[in-house]
């Protein structure tokens, strides 16, 4: 039975790769095809993330004993990644054209996380030089992207100056994925340490300000930026709100960390496994309503299950925060506007308005808030100040560097 299932999954995976191959091959990199229409996504622009993801996919195909063209395709991508994307300083351009000329020299945090992922998958597939490039890329990430909290900072100019005072969940999510893959490729726990550090911060430490859901956008001091891109709900790469699909990805990564026996910040494996289930359940609930990649307004925070509260109860301080009437009004206006854009359901908007009007849910500029006591736990949970979370992350990061 298990063998039949694995064979069926392998066949499905090969079929997906076969849809792409050989038309996906371009003079420089890949021109990824839509799996249903067969149309190419881009013109002559070759994006770093698409190239690295394609390398990763075809390298995985090679390790799954798929046809030889999987390995050849992954090698094709690696040649372009090294020759055309990689700059003299070791960084990688974000976009090149079909002649290999760089047309966007941004040093993307997310893009460089994908570079690490590509080399990790290629190393497992046995491609020459991939292991050495993995090591070099890890060193680059440590030097150029890891901030004082031990997390990824934002995109940079070609001279490594940050473009904006911004921090993003997305880049750190893909960094966690890449570090797990690097551990799988090398067997070295240091990569798993990086993955668990990021996972702890994003899915536990920072999630308390939003009741357990994972906000996408932050300030450069890791405070939730609730106003980020609120006037661009359809932004391709950085829409406002929550992303249900990202909750599913984090559930997967927490499950992998649990598989490898890594406790996040002294949290038990069972608790992290439960946290993964919480994230998955929240994503399914929200995705049915909005679509997996549709930004989710902050409506479902109140009824999040018990695990999130339990994870941080032992590091919490017994503090109360009572927001002013103006703070509640401002929050109500922002959340209802978000609901109007992203959900469009009058009953949902009314429930949001009712909860905010009653004052049962609140958030503070200091990062202290309470979970609604009428939620599923029936308990009132005190949540830690954001300053404490950042201080703990900084201490751990300094200890690792020492």
Q: Could you say which of 127, 145, 163 is where a domain stops?
A: 145
Angle between helices 130-144 and 109-124 (to 10 degrees): 160
Do residues 280 and 334 share a domain? yes
Q: Is 243 in contact with 269 (CB distance < 8 Å)?
A: no
Do residues 205 and 309 share a domain? yes
Top-ranked range on mean pLDDT: pick from 44-48, 102-106, 350-354: 102-106
Average pLDDT, stretch 16-32?
90
Domain count for the chain: 2
Do residues 62 and 203 share a domain? no
Do residues 44 and 84 share a domain? yes
Report yes or no on 153 lying in a domain: no
Do residues 188 and 283 share a domain? yes
Higher pLDDT, 394 or 74: 74
* pLDDT, tens digit, 9 for 90 and up, residues 323-351: 344 444 443 344 344 434 333 333 333 33
Report yes or no on 58 lying in a domain: yes
Do residues 225 and 359 share a domain? yes
Please tell me the predicted confidence (pLDDT) of residue 127: 97
Strands 46-47, 95-96: pairing kind: antiparallel
At residue 105's C-alpha, the angle toward residues 40 and 165, to 5°, is 110
Higher pLDDT, 220 or 332: 220
Range in 74-88, 178-192, 231-245, 339-353 the model is least confident about: 339-353
Distances (CA, A) of 299 to 65, 207, 242, 347: 45, 14, 10, 12
Report yes or no on 160 lying in a domain: no
Higher pLDDT, 80 or 386: 80
- For residue 25, the cross-strand partners are 30
Do residues 80 and 189 share a domain? no
CATH of the domain at 74: 1.50.10.10
Do residues 134 and 5 share a domain? yes
Higher pLDDT, 236 or 118: 118
Please tell me the predicted confidence (pLDDT) of residue 5: 84
Average pLDDT, stretch 37-54?
89
Higher pLDDT, 351 or 22: 22
Top-ranked range on mean pLDDT: pick from 77-81, 237-241, 308-312, 380-384: 77-81
Do residues 220 and 304 share a domain? yes
pTM for this predicted structure: 0.76
Domain extent, residue 313, equals 175-402
Do residues 183 and 72 share a domain? no
Report yes or no on 303 lying in a domain: yes
Average pLDDT, stretch 153-160?
96
pLDDT tier for residue 284 given thresholds of 50, 70 and 90: confident
Q: Per-residue DSSP letters for 262-280?
A: --GGG--HHHHHHHHHHHH
Average pLDDT, stretch 385-395?
63
Report yes or no on 161 lying in a domain: no
Do residues 92 and 192 share a domain? no
Average pLDDT, stretch 290-300?
46
Higher pLDDT, 43 or 133: 133
Do residues 221 and 347 share a domain? yes
pLDDT tier for residue 122 given thresholds of 50, 70 and 90: very high
Report yes or no on 187 lying in a domain: yes
Q: Could you say which of 98, 125, 145 is where a domain stops?
A: 145
């Amino acid at each position: 039975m298990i063998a039949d299932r694995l064979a069926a999954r392998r066949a499905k995976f090969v079929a997906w790769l076969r849809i792409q191959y050989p038309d996906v091959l371009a003079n420089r990199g890949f021109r990824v095809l839509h799996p249903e229409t067969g149309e190419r996504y881009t013109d002559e622009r070759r994006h770093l993330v698409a190239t690295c993801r394609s390398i990763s996919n075809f390298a995985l195909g090679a390790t799954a004993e798929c046809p030889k063209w999987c390995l050849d395709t992954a090698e094709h991508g690696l040649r372009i990644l090294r020759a055309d994307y990689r700059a003299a300083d070791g960084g990688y351009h974000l976009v090149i054209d079909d002649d290999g000329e760089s047309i966007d020299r941004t040093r993307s945090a997310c893009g460089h996380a994908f570079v690490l992922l590509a080399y990790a998958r290629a190393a497992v597939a046995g491609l020459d030089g991939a292991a050495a490039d993995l090591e070099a890329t890890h060193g680059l990430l440590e030097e150029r992207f890891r901030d004082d909290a031990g997390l990824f900072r934002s995109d940079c100019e070609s001279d490594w100056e940050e473009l904006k005072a911004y921090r993003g969940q997305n880049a750190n999510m893909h960094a966690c994925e890449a570090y797990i893959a690097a551990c799988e490729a090398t067997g070295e726990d240091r990569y798993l340490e990086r993955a668990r550090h990021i996972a702890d911060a994003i899915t536990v430490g920072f999630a308390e300000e939003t009741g357990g859901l994972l906000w996408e956008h932050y300030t450069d001091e890791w405070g939730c930026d609730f106003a980020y891109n609120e006037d661009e709900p359809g932004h391709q790469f950085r829409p406002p709100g929550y992303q249900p699909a990202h909750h599913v990805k984090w559930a997967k990564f927490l499950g992998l960390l649990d598989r490898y026996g890594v406790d996040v910040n002294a949290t038990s494996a069972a608790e992290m496994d439960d946290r993964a289930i919480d994230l998955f359940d929240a994503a399914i609930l929200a995705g049915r309503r909005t679509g997996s990649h549709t930004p989710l307004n902050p409506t479902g925070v109140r009824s999040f299950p018990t695990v999130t509260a339990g994870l941080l109860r032992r590091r919490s301080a017994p503090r109360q925060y009572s927001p002013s009437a103006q703070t509640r009004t401002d929050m109500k206006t922002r959340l209802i506007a978000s609901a109007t854009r992203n959900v469009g359901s009058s009953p949902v908007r009314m429930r949001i308005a009712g909860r905010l009007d009653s004052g049962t849910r609140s958030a503070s500029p200091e990062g202290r808030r309470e979970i609604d006591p009428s939620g599923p736990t029936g308990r009132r949970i005190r949540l830690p100040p954001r300053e404490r979370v950042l201080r703990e992350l900084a201490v751990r990061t300094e200890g690792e560097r020492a």
